[in-house]
Structure 1
């Protein structure tokens, strides 16, 4: 039996359109609101199917009004038929009434993990709403980061930029992250613009593919750190957990490059960032030579049934055990840890015990995560080209995994596990 239409008059906000404002759709309830428009839960009057519909008022005068900008962005997507990707939310229909520009989209999952419905307590699952419940698991961080970057990479490869990458514009459909809200999409011309959400924009305000990369880096930072974006790049208070997981260390290093203030350091586009993330994750999870060799010979033995192959596996394992025994008998080297260094302003070199920390590409510059430091006390000094030196003093890396300094307030060291 079909469900009767829900009454909408009791819950409509003061600025709501009438329920029949859009042809063929019944507006049920507002489920989102931005600076330029509203998103409504709607029902198709003919089929009964549910959809999300965005309404942008047409009353604004001037060539640069919100509705005009939205129409221009949608026209760019419409002209470029190849802008289809599993991680981009699909726009199903675009239309206009005397009062509104509107377009319909697939409805996001329910925040509770259920399918979308017309229930009164339905709330769309966005990345922003999930992050408000706390930081995500490692597996979810890696999954969603790659889905977000895949969506942006596809846009960039079509010569387009999103310009408003933030958690609220990432929705979940059947559990898959999809980038949404294309109202600011434009050609990747790199013009100076205030379009977007300021806290996810680079300071130079040059809104090109590198700006999308910058925003994506900050969104991913919020996923794994559990911090709001205004605390970037600090890992306090979860740094001990994060820096002990090699996958999160790799993810953090990619994010630091993505959100670097310098355009020369930042990734050129989302494809470059995604490729680098997948490369460093593969390197972190690569098995040892002995493990790979044993796996390959054992697989060959199972396929061929040859006993000598299994004998070879046994010999390798014996050799491995002997090597492990000798390794255990050797003098134990000092334990090593990964340490996060943060300064305000960014761009300071890091000195430990009088020696500058170097990477394969030159000196480490803050913010940075430096791997393989001995877990003991070190004298830490930051040197900024414009601000001079500031001392963080003696820091025991066995207990402290983040060291930070502000020149206007003096140094401070990070969390203690």
Structure 2
């Protein structure tokens, strides 16, 4: 079966390499027929082309693998491919989060596949697992480390004693972090992944504006050391849960006990746990960043297409607004003295001076309330940093 790749980055090259290896082992019938390059790039061989329309018109090409990233031109290419009745596999979390509902509907109307396992979790089979589980039981909760870049940075700061700047540089040198890492550090990457995972696993599209999100951008070594002295580790966690018909969703740096599974997820690995009404809590751990592992997930989608699997979504997903007001946690806050003096004393149960300002532990607070407090403090100190203390989480 002939496929065309859109893009020629590390993921696309991983797909080419994996298929070539499988061909030498006589384990695949897939063949890369064309690779689309941007018009500004030279064509290194006849395999490559600038002409997307030629790919669409080639009846031998049955599957399009989108590995461009971003919304445009990926959206235009994927939509055109589906309308041309070609199967589509994508690794694009942005695209699926923003346009997944429409593209899934078009794929069903045109009786072609639209699969995107690699959009969440790198090499982990998170979405394909959620899709199967949801068919037989309700998933009431999921939690995870879904950004390999930030986990690599946090792990380097914790186990290798690196300051933030050095850990970030190492992540960039290893190919895990972009030149501009703000999308990872500010949680935008995780926002896309939360929406996609919630849709596949819970059949809801969560309004992104309702997902409580705290940034990792201003973490410092002193924060790591503070929790290390208390046998805790900081991880950048996502959490979505359903309780009494309401959904909560949040993304935040979280201090977990050093013995917890999340604390033992090292380097650029991802961790994902979900709770089903009958299967209870199940856990997946593995590589969460890198071209080779992401390409492996794309190949699994190609295999699913061969097996007749076409879609992860049911097409009747409900649009919901997350309501985090029922979740309460204690928080660690680090800020300047000026910001500290703006903080309502009723929130504080413990405070300690630092070289740069103040560090404090809050009373139990609703997640939504804490986000508003941070927003207010950032008008004075843009680098206020907050960490949730996981074991204190309660549902009102």
- The TM-score with structure 2 as length reference comes to 0.30
Greater helix share, 1 or 2?
2
- What's the TM-score once normalised by structure 1's chain length? 0.29
Larger radius of gyration: 1
Q: Which has the higher contact order (CA 8 A, sep 6+)?
A: 2
